[in-house]
Amino acid sequence: MINKSVFVVSLILFAILSRFLPHPPNFTPIAAIALLSTKGFANRCVAFLIPIISLFISDLFLGLHTTIPFVYGSFILIALLGRYVKKINILTVLLSSSIFFLVTNLGVWLIHYPLSVEGLFQCYILALPFFLNTIIGDLVYGALLIYPFYALQKRNRFAV
């Protein structure tokens, strides 16, 4: 039997460490961490704090930026999504990618672009290559983190 909390924390630590490896922009494990936390921890506060703390710790080393409130806010929304879906699946992961894209680029537009319809469109259009990286990263990390969790849960391998 495997302790569920230890397993989830181990996956999250692996994911945090992976942020320090070379990777394309927006190819990160944080959305998968946010989704997994909501299924791995019964305590709602812990489930919402895990992705934020994970992000903050790595941001201290990787660099802080002006859009942090939007980035962190997007992961809180993703954790909310994870909390309200019965089971995380590909659609949930794709929806979390979309939430991240929409919220963070709204922040980029508000801070770095002219506050006009043209500026808004320009911001989102220029962000499309990053959106592809987000989708791929979320799918990869979702498979690496969430699938093993559900596979072990299905086989009743978690100690209570």
Average model confidence (pLDDT) across the chain: 92
The DSSP H or E segment spanning 158 is strand 158-159
Range of the domain at 65: 2-159
Predicted pLDDT at 78: 97
The token pair at 143 is 């498979």
Predicted pLDDT at 30: 92
Q: What's the CATH number where 101 sits?
A: 1.10.1760
Predicted pLDDT at 160: 58
Name which residue leads in pLDDT, 64 or 3: 64
Predicted pLDDT at 80: 96
Instruction: Identify the weakest region by mean pLDDT among 17-21, 62-66, 154-158.
Output: 154-158
Q: How many domains does the chain have?
A: 1
The token pair at 33 is 């961490």
Burial class (CB in 10 A: 0-12, 13-18, 19+), 136: middle
Q: What percent of the chain has pLDDT above 90?
A: 63
Q: Tokens 């980029």 sit at which residue?
A: 108
- What is the per-residue pLDDT across 31-90, written as a single tens digit (0 to 9) for each? 999 999 999 888 889 889 989 988 898 899 889 999 999 999 999 999 999 999 999 999
Query: Are the beta carbons of 146 and 14 closer than 8 angstroms?
Result: no
